[in-house]
Amino acid sequence: MSAAVDPARGSASQAPIEYADASPEVRAVYDDIMATRKSDWVNNYWKVLAHHPPTLRRMWANAKEVMGPGALDALTKELIYLAVSVTNACRYCIASHGAAARNKGMTPEQHAELVAIIGLANETNRHAVALDLQIDDKFR
Amino acid sequence: MSAAVDPARGSASQAPIEYADASPEVRAVYDDIMATRKSDWVNNYWKVLAHHPPTLRRMWANAKEVMGPGALDALTKELIYLAVSVTNACRYCIASHGAAARNKGMTPEQHAELVAIIGLANETNRHAVALDLQIDDKFR
Amino acid sequence: MSAAVDPARGSASQAPIEYADASPEVRAVYDDIMATRKSDWVNNYWKVLAHHPPTLRRMWANAKEVMGPGALDALTKELIYLAVSVTNACRYCIASHGAAARNKGMTPEQHAELVAIIGLANETNRHAVALDLQIDDKFR
Amino acid sequence: MSAAVDPARGSASQAPIEYADASPEVRAVYDDIMATRKSDWVNNYWKVLAHHPPTLRRMWANAKEVMGPGALDALTKELIYLAVSVTNACRYCIASHGAAARNKGMTPEQHAELVAIIGLANETNRHAVALDLQIDDKFR
Amino acid sequence: MSAAVDPARGSASQAPIEYADASPEVRAVYDDIMATRKSDWVNNYWKVLAHHPPTLRRMWANAKEVMGPGALDALTKELIYLAVSVTNACRYCIASHGAAARNKGMTPEQHAELVAIIGLANETNRHAVALDLQIDDKFR
Amino acid sequence: MSAAVDPARGSASQAPIEYADASPEVRAVYDDIMATRKSDWVNNYWKVLAHHPPTLRRMWANAKEVMGPGALDALTKELIYLAVSVTNACRYCIASHGAAARNKGMTPEQHAELVAIIGLANETNRHAVALDLQIDDKFR
C-alpha cells in the first residue's frame, strides 16, 4: 500500500531484467557484453541498468572503451578498479571486480599485496592531510 | 598571542626536519629511505613525521615492506596507490606518488588510462549503491 | 556474557523505541513528526535516536527547518539528499529518502537521471582531482 | 632534472590546451561544447582532458547526454552535481558547477538551502551508520 | 561580466560579514559565540554562514549544544571532531579544530597519537571492507 | 565452476583461520593478541588477515604500538577510532571498536555524544567546503 513498495515508481531495488524479458535494444547490449567478455551470462549491474536503456547503452560503451585493450594490461586495470571500490566501500563492485581480477589471473599473494597497499595508501593519505604537508618542489 | 601560532604546541603545519637538524635516530631512517630508493633526498612526508620518531620509524617500516619487491611489480603498486589517493582527494599523495610512478616508467598514455579507470570506478560504485544491487551468485 | 550484547551499555544496534513505550518528551516529538508529515507512523531513524531525547529533539528541529518549505521545492530537496546519501553509501538513507522522493512525485525517469548525474559527478570529481585542475578565472 | 618536472611524462598538472593549439579532433569537441552551451569559451576541465583525445570525446558525450534536456530541469541537475561535488570536497567542481548553477538561475537563498541540505544529509548519513539502523519495512 | 563574480548571486566564496557590518540578529549570535567561548573574536565559519541568518542561528545552537559540557570532556570532543575532519580532508576544519584542541590542552604527543590512530583506522577500515569480514558473534 | 567460488584463488570472503588450524607463526601472533588484551579469543579481522602471515604480523605490530599506552587514554583512542570508522561507513569496524569502547567504559551517554559530534563534524566539514572558507589568520 506504501509507495515505497511499488516497483513502477522507481524503487532503489529493481529486479534485474533477464535476457528472455528484455527488449531488442537491451538484448543487443547484453549480446555485446557476452561477446566482448567471451562469457555466457550478464551480471546484475547491467540487468538493473537495463530499466533505463540509454544509461545501459552509455555505460557499456564507457566500460568497453575504458577497460578494453590499451596501455595498461587487463589485470592491472582490474586492480585499479578494486582499489577504488574498496576505498569507496562498494560491496557489489568488490565482488564483481574481485571475480574479474581472479579470472584475469590475480593470485592470492597479489590479492594480499593489493589489500595491503590500499590500506597503507588510505593511512598515509590521512597523515598527509592531518599534517597539511607542503608539496616538495621536486614533485612539481 | 594565539596558541594556534605556537609551533611548539602541535600545529598541524609543522616545518620539515632537515637532515642537518635531525637526531641520530631520525637520520638513521632518512639514510635507509635514501639507500632503499637509491635517491639523495627525502620528501616532506618523512621530514614532518620526524617530529614523532616512533611514527617515522613505524611508517617507514610499513612502506618499505608493503611497497617493496613482491608479487606485484613496482609500477603497478604505484598505480594502485594513486587510485586510492585520487579517490581520497589527497593532493600531496597524488603529487608524490605521481612522481614515483613516472620514475618507475608510467607513460602519459598509461596515466590517461589510470585516470579514466579511477573515474569510471567511482561512477559505477555509486550506481551500484544507488540501485542497491544484489551480488550475483556467480560472484560469491 | 559479553559487554557487546548488553543493550544497556550503548550497543550500536539499539532497538527502536515504539510510541507505546516512549516517554511524554519523546512522544511529543513523534507527534510533531507525524503531524508535519501528515503520516501515521515514524521511521526507525527517529525511534533509535529516541534513546537520547536531546538528540532526537535537536535533530527533528533541524530536519523540520532544513527540509521544510523554502526556496527549493520539496522534491528537489529530496533529490539533493539522495545524491549525498548515495555518494556516502548510506543504505538506510537511500531507502528512506528514496521513499520520500517517490512520495513527493519522483518518476522512474527522474530517478534514472538522478542516478546518472550522481555517477557522472563522482567520476568527473576524480578527474578534476587527478589532473589538479586550476580553477578558471571566469569561475572565481 | 627530476622526472617529475618533465611535462612530457604525464605530470598531474598539465597545461590546458588552448583552441589555437588544438588538433582538428580536439577543436571539433570544443566547438560542440561551445555550441551546446551557447558560450564562447571552454573551461579547463576539457582543455586538460584534451591531452588524451579519446577521453575528451568520451566524457563530452557523457556530459552532453546526462546533463542535457530530460525529466529533470537544468538547474536541478546542477544542484545534484553540486551536492556530490561538495560531499567529495572537489574544489574545481564546486567552482565550475556553482557558476553553472548561478547561470541557470540559482538564487542566494536556494544556494543557502542547498548547502544546508548537503550538511544535514552528511550528518544524518553518519547517524544512520553509527546506529546501524534497520531499514523500515515500509521502505522496502 | 561573468555571473560567477557577482557576489549577489550566491558565489561559493562569500566575504565574511564583520561585526561592524552585521545586523542585530547576526550580532546577537556573534555575541553569544564570544561569550560562550570567552573569546574576543569570531572565526570565518560563522561570519560566512551569516549571509543566511537562519542557518547561522541554527548551526550555532547545534554547535553550542553538541560541543558544550557533557559526558565527554572538551578536549576529547575536539579530538573526535578532528578525526572526522581529517578523514574528510577538510582543511578549514582541521585548522580551526586543531587550534581549538591546542587551546584545550592537546600536547604535541597527543596530536601525534591522534594522527597515528586516524591513519590506522583508515587503513584497517579498508582491510575490513576488502576482506568482507563477517562481524563476530561476540560483537553483536 | 566459477573462479569466484574457489577459495584458493583469493576470494574476498575468506574463512577465518581458527587457532587449531593455524601455523606456529600465526599462533604466535594470536597468543600475543590474547595476552596483550587479556582475552581468550581473537576476532575475525586477525583470523582473516592470517591468510597472509606477513600482513598479520605487521598489522598487529602497528595496532599494538598505536593503540597501546601513551599520551591518550585507552577509551579516547577507541572513540577516535570509532569516529573514523563511522565516517567511512565500515560496519565491521564500528562493531568491533564499539565493543572495545564499551569494554573500556564508554557509557550510553558518551556514545550518544560521540554520535552527535561525528554527525556535526561531517555536517560542518561540508559547509566549510561548500563555502570555500578561508582559514583565519589566527588559526595559521
> Which residue in D has a C-alpha nearest to residue E140's C-alpha?
D132
Helix (H), strand (E), coil (C) string for F56-100: HHHHHHHHHHHHCCCCCCHHHHHHHHHHHHHHCCCHHHHHHHHHH
Q: Determine, for residues F4 and B140 on separate chains, whether the beta-carbon distance falls below 8 Å.
A: yes
Task: Tell me what ipTM this predicted complex has.
Answer: 0.92
Sort out which chain F residues have CB atoms less than 8 A from E85's CB and list them.
Answer: 121, 125
Q: For the segment E69-83, what is each residue's pLDDT rounded down to a tens digit?
A: 999 999 999 999 999
The residue with cell 555575541 is E31
SS3 content of chain D, % helix, strand, coil (to 5): 70, 0, 30
Q: Determine, for residues B87 and C118 on separate chains, whether the beta-carbon distance falls below 8 Å.
A: no
Q: Determine, for residues F72 and E114 on separate chains, whether the beta-carbon distance falls below 8 Å.
A: yes
Report in angstroms the alpha-carbon separations of C103 from A49, C85, C100.
22, 18, 5
Q: For the segment B97-133, what is each residue's pLDDT rounded down to a tens digit?
A: 999 999 999 999 999 999 999 999 999 999 999 999 9
Q: How many residues comprise chain C?
A: 140
Nearest to C94 among A2, A6, A12 (CB): A12
The CA-to-CA distance between both ends of chain F, in Å, stands at 60
* F34 contact E CB<8A: no
E24: CB partners within 8 A, 6+ apart: none
With 70 as the cut, is the pLDDT of residue C6 above it? no
Burial of F20 (0-12, 13-18, 19+ CB in 10 A): exposed
Q: Can you tell me whether residue F54 is helix, strand or coil?
A: helix
How many of the other CB atoms lie within 10 Å of CB of C2?
14
Task: Give the cell for residue E32.
Answer: 553569544
Burial of A69 (0-12, 13-18, 19+ CB in 10 A): exposed
Q: Determine, for residues F4 and B139 on separate chains, whether the beta-carbon distance falls below 8 Å.
A: yes
pLDDT of amino acid B12 = 52
Q: For the segment C59-117, what is each residue's pLDDT rounded down to a tens digit?
A: 999 999 999 999 999 999 999 999 999 999 999 999 999 999 999 999 999 999 999 99
CA nearest to F132, candidates E6, E97, D91, E43? D91
Looking at residues D91-102, what average pLDDT do you find?
A: 98
Question: Does residue C98 contact residue A2 with C-beta atoms inside 8 Å?
Answer: no
Helix (H), strand (E), coil (C) string for chain C: CCHHHCHHHCCCCCCCCCHHHCCHHHHHHHHHHHHHHCCCCCCHHHHHHCCCHHHHHHHHHHHHHHHCCCCCCHHHHHHHHHHHHHHCCCHHHHHHHHHHHHHCCCCHHHHHHHHHHHHHHHHHHHHHHHCCCCCCHHHC
CA nearest to B46, candidates B58, F40, C54, E94? B58
Nearest to B119 among C118, C127, C132 (CB): C127
How many of the other CB atoms lie within 10 Å of CB of D38?
6
For residue B115, the 8-state DSSP code is: H
Torsion angle of C-alpha atoms F111, F112, F116, F117, degrees rounded to 10: -30
Handedness of CA C44, D133, E140, B136 (dihedral sign): positive
Question: Does residue A76 contact residue B79 with C-beta atoms inside 8 Å?
Answer: yes
For residue E12, the 8-state DSSP code is: S
Task: Give the cell for residue D17.
Answer: 590546451
Looking at residues A19-46, what average pLDDT do you find?
A: 98
CA nearest to C10, candidates E78, F87, D131, F86? D131
With 70 as the cut, is the pLDDT of residue F89 above it? yes
Burial of D68 (0-12, 13-18, 19+ CB in 10 A): exposed
pLDDT of amino acid A12 = 52
CA nearest to D45, candidates D63, D71, D66, D67? D63
Q: How far apart are CA D6 and CA D25, in angstroms?
A: 25
pLDDT of amino acid B9 = 38
* F3 contact A CB<8A: yes
Sort out which chain F residues have CB atoms less than 8 A from B5's CB and list them.
Answer: 138, 140
> How many CB pairs below 8 Å do chains A and C form together?
41
Report in angstroms the alpha-carbon separations of F91 from A66, A96, A98, C12, C14.
32, 20, 20, 10, 15
Torsion angle of C-alpha atoms A61, A67, A70, A73, degrees rounded to 10: -170
Q: How far apart are CA C103 and CA C96, in angstroms?
A: 11
Question: Does residue E124 contact residue F93 with C-beta atoms inside 8 Å?
Answer: yes
Q: Determine, for residues E3 and D98 on separate chains, whether the beta-carbon distance falls below 8 Å.
A: no
Sort out which chain B residues have CB atoms less than 8 A from E127's CB and list them.
Answer: none
Q: Determine, for residues A62 and D62 on separate chains, whether the beta-carbon distance falls below 8 Å.
A: yes
Looking at residues A59-75, what average pLDDT do you find?
A: 98
With 50 as the cut, is the pLDDT of residue A118 above it? yes
Q: For the segment F39-80, what is each residue's pLDDT rounded down to a tens digit?
A: 999 999 999 999 999 999 999 999 999 999 999 999 999 999
Question: Does residue B16 contact residue E116 with C-beta atoms inside 8 Å?
Answer: no
Q: How far apart are CA B134 and CA B137, in angstroms?
A: 9
Looking at residues D36-50, what average pLDDT do you find?
A: 98
Nearest to C10 among F95, F108, F116 (CB): F108
With 50 as the cut, is the pLDDT of residue C1 above it? no
pLDDT band for position E2 (cuts 50, 70, 90): very low
Question: Does residue C93 contact residue D125 with C-beta atoms inside 8 Å?
Answer: yes
* F13 contact B CB<8A: yes
C3: CB partners within 8 A, 6+ apart: C9, F99, F102, F103
A128: CB partners within 8 A, 6+ apart: B45, B90, B92, B93
Task: Give the cell for residue B84.
Answer: 586510492
Looking at residues A118-133, what average pLDDT do you find?
A: 98
Q: How far apart are CA F92 and CA E138, in angstroms?
A: 12
Report A:74-133 residues touching F (Cβ under 8 A): 89, 94-95, 98-99, 102-103, 106-112, 115-116
Report in angstroms the alpha-carbon separations of D68 from A58, D77, D95, E101.
14, 9, 20, 47
Nearest to D106 among E10, E51, E90 (CB): E10
Task: Give the cell for residue F102.
Answer: 564499551
Q: Determine, for residues F133 and E107 on separate chains, whether the beta-carbon distance falls below 8 Å.
A: no
Q: How far apart are CA A106 and CA E73, in angstroms?
A: 49
The kind and range of the H/E element at A60 are: helix A53-67
Q: For the segment E42-72, what is each residue's pLDDT rounded down to a tens digit?
A: 999 999 999 999 999 999 999 999 999 999 9
Residues of chain B with pLDDT under 50: 1-10
Q: For the segment C28-60, what is each residue's pLDDT rounded down to a tens digit?
A: 999 999 999 999 999 999 999 999 999 999 999
Q: How far apart are CA B138 and CA A81, in angstroms?
A: 19
pLDDT band for position A127 (cuts 50, 70, 90): very high
* Closest CA of chain A from C67, distance in Å: 20
Kindly report the pTM of this predicted structure. 0.94
pLDDT of amino acid A129 = 98
Task: Give the cell for residue A25.
Answer: 535494444
The letter for the amino acid at A2 is: S
DSSP B45-70: HHHHHTTSHHHHHHHHHHHHHHHSSS
Question: Does residue B68 contact residue B74 with C-beta atoms inside 8 Å?
Answer: no
Q: How far apart are CA C2 and CA A77, in angstroms?
A: 44
Question: Does residue E16 contact residue E47 with C-beta atoms inside 8 Å?
Answer: yes
Q: For the segment F70-79, what is each residue's pLDDT rounded down to a tens digit?
A: 999 999 999 9
For an interface test with C, the pick among D59, D139, D140 (most C C-beta atoms closer than 10 Å) comes out as D139
With 80 as the cut, is the pLDDT of residue D118 above it? yes
How many of the other CB atoms lie within 10 Å of CB of D69?
8
Q: How far apart are CA C16 and CA C18, in angstroms?
A: 6
